Structure 1
Amino acid sequence: MRRLPPLNALRAFDAAARQLSISAAAQELHVTHSAVSHQVRQLEQWLGKSLFVRHAAGVQLTAEGESLKQAVEHTFSMLVARCAEIAEQEPISEIVLGAPGSFLSNWLIPRLERFEANYPGIRVRLQTSVAMDDLRRHVVDCLIVSDRNWPSDVEVVSLFNETAGPVCAPSWPHRIAMPKDLPSQPLLHTSSRPHAWMEWASRNNVEPAMFTEGRRFDHLSLLLEAAAAGLGVAIAPAVLVERELSQGKLIAPLGFEPNNAVFALCAMRGRSDTAFCDLRDWLVKESVR
């Protein structure tokens, strides 16, 4: 008799490990947040090991969690393909797409339903990632990241130029009519883009050294929440604050301007399978909608 943990616990872990979010895993599995949390804890108890490190912005895999993630992904993919063969159905092609969490939630996820409607034979699994090493180690099949310089072993398809600018709550009490109004105000920074304020200041002919102070946040999502709560003025790419702007949670008092970076789809050179090419072509079309 095989000694294995409950299948539901493994499914919940698989979703949470790919998304690095219990909430996103619950949405994918169409269950509650507490149901996923319970299944993950049940699996950890069965193994006698912690699989995640939990923090305010989500979860991170432990070494044991990363090892189990790779095994579960491989096994589930084999099961899907073999079950499709037995049922004499065309197996669904699966692509793991990595991107910053803020890009996934603000830009890609709201559009993904259109892709699935047009390409029912392709399943896109989303994973929070910005590391080219994840691409090289085949943790993800492709990446959407923003950068200015690209490695030679990666094929890059530009999607759109990045624009960035200051954002704050609509009720922000301080005047922001020009760039020089900002150094005296509380500024918010994110560790993923530590030089964003200084680069913006330089482009706007304001002394960059005046933009180094202020609160710092690990993730852009926390940065935007702080700005919406009135804790200060943040700087962010326009594409990553579309939702907050449309909902009226944030405003961009000075607008957005190009910062010489490009959001691009990256894959290892030579990738030419039909599923990837369909996803690539769809992303290019969506980027100009």
Structure 2
Amino acid sequence: MKLPPLSAIKAFEATARHLSFSRAAEELFVTHAAVSHQIKNLEEWFGTKLFVREGRGIRLSRSGELLYRKVSPALFDIADACRTVKMLVNKESLTVGCIPSIANRWLVPNLNTFTSFRPDLDVKIVYATVDDTLEDNELDVLITTGQAKGHHIVSRWLFSRANKPVCSKAFLQSHDPLNTPQQLLTAPLIHDENRKGWQEWFEAAGVPWKATDSWPLYQDFNLLATAVIAGHGIALCPVEVFRLEIERGDLIILSDISTKNDMGYYASYRENTSDVAIHFVEWFAQFVAEH
């Protein structure tokens, strides 16, 4: 492509838009003489005048008008393309590791409440486990049980981890009364990963209980939740995390006796993290507190 000096084209476009050498110079952060010199070089390159002096001002010549109509949109398109590429290259990112129970019930369904205010942000949500740490992963935020381990970590409280026995409305209607811990002894008790949770709960209730292998174990907490909502039995669930299911009537709390009362779910980040990570944690903590 045979092109004139692009610096001269840029000076011409600014001068033609303002119809002023001085205002073009101010926009381009150069001197009036520098703009005049660029225009003179461009006119020599074309072999024609691009501006005509008119009193104390200037106007575009016929050739200048033709050139301006083509050049100005092209320069704006170039600038827009450069902004887009630069934004993609320098786009802020946020990687959040979250345990499935919180991710599926609270984070993912409501994430657009946060991203709608930051459409330029590249957000990545990944599953985390209770054993994950910020030091071992390339995460900006970690949402899990307990405060994240490590040095210079800030943890923000989200939910209580207090567990209570729950079941579905249909299950309750089709079984004998389940008003006391003793009445739960013969009911189908479903378990999360192991049977230790129910052992702790019956101890807190002051009722002897011997674990049996007659009811299934669900390794994934979301599988356990699906099973209890479907009416397969009674499960120990953190009632704060299942707040919405309880409010809708999908789950019914069978007893006020609870375990893990001193434990909780937290969102954690490093002290030297980005502002966007801090804003995300503040948003999520406020959101779950208000809903």
Q: TM-score range by the shorter chain?
A: 0.5 to 0.7
**Alignment of 1:151 onto 2:149:** yes
Q: Distance in 2 between matches of 1:101 and 1:143?
A: 12
Match of 1:261 in 2: 263
Residues 192 and 219, structure 2, Cα contact 8 Å, conserved in 1: yes
Taking structure 1 as reference, are residues 255 and 116 closer, same or farther at Cα in structure 2, changes over 3 Å only?
farther
Shift of 1:131: 4.7
Shift of 1:93: 1.8
Residues 187 and 211, structure 1, Cα contact 8 Å, conserved in 2: no
CA displacement, residues 245-273 of structure 1 (integer Å, 9 cap, x when unaligned): 34543322225746211111123x43331
CA displacement, residues 20-51 of structure 1 (integer Å, 9 cap, x when unaligned): xxxxxxxxxxxxxxxxxxxxxxxxxxxxxxxx
Residues 183 and 211, structure 1, Cα contact 8 Å, conserved in 2: no
Matches within 5 A, 1:103-122: 103-122=102-121
Shift of 1:211: 4.9
Residues 130 and 145, structure 2, Cα contact 8 Å, conserved in 1: no
Q: Distance in 1 between matches of 2:143 and 2:100?
A: 11
Gaps of 5+ in 1: 1-82
CA displacement, residues 41-99 of structure 1 (integer Å, 9 cap, x when unaligned): xxxxxxxxxxxxxxxxxxxxxxxxxxxxxxxxxxxxxxxxxx98663437432211111
**Alignment of 1:205 onto 2:203:** no
Taking structure 1 as reference, are residues 210 and 248 closer, same or farther at Cα in structure 2, changes over 3 Å only?
same
Q: Distance in 1 between matches of 2:84 and 2:248?
A: 47
Q: Distance in 1 between matches of 2:203 and 2:186?
A: 16
Letter aligned with residue 284 of structure 1: A
Match of 2:139 in 1: 140
Gaps of 5+ in 2: 1-80
Q: Distance in 2 between matches of 1:255 and 1:93?
A: 45
Counterpart selection for 1:87 from 85, 88, 95: 85
**Alignment of 1:187 onto 2:189:** yes
Residues 103 and 239, structure 1, Cα contact 8 Å, conserved in 2: no
Instruction: Tell me how many residue pairs correspond in the alignment.
Output: 203
Taking structure 1 as reference, are residues 140 and 86 closer, same or farther at Cα in structure 2, changes over 3 Å only?
same
Letter aligned with residue 179 of structure 2: A
Match of 2:251 in 1: 250
Give the aligned CA root-mean-square deviation in angstroms. Answer: 2.8
Match of 2:273 in 1: 272
Shift of 1:129: 0.9
CA displacement, residues 166-200 of structure 1 (integer Å, 9 cap, x when unaligned): 12121221321122221211110011x65222222
Q: Distance in 1 between matches of 2:189 and 2:233?
A: 5
SS for the counterpart of 1:210 is coil
Q: TM-score, normalised by structure 1?
A: 0.61
Segments of 4+ in structure 1 off by > 4 A?
Answer: 83-86, 131-134, 255-258
Taking structure 1 as reference, are residues 101 and 160 closer, same or farther at Cα in structure 2, changes over 3 Å only?
closer
Residues 98 and 129, structure 1, Cα contact 8 Å, conserved in 2: yes
Q: Distance in 2 between matches of 1:226 and 1:281?
A: 33
Q: Distance in 2 between matches of 1:163 and 1:100?
A: 17
**Alignment of 1:220 onto 2:218:** no
Q: TM-score, normalised by structure 2?
A: 0.60
Letter aligned with residue 178 of structure 2: I
Greater C-alpha Rg: 2
Taking structure 1 as reference, are residues 104 and 84 closer, same or farther at Cα in structure 2, changes over 3 Å only?
farther
Q: Distance in 1 between matches of 2:91 and 2:256?
A: 42
Q: Distance in 1 between matches of 2:256 and 2:118?
A: 36
Residues 130 and 143, structure 1, Cα contact 8 Å, conserved in 2: no
Match of 1:284 in 2: 285
Q: How high is the sequence identity, in percent, across the aligned residues?
A: 22
Taking structure 1 as reference, are residues 212 and 244 closer, same or farther at Cα in structure 2, changes over 3 Å only?
farther
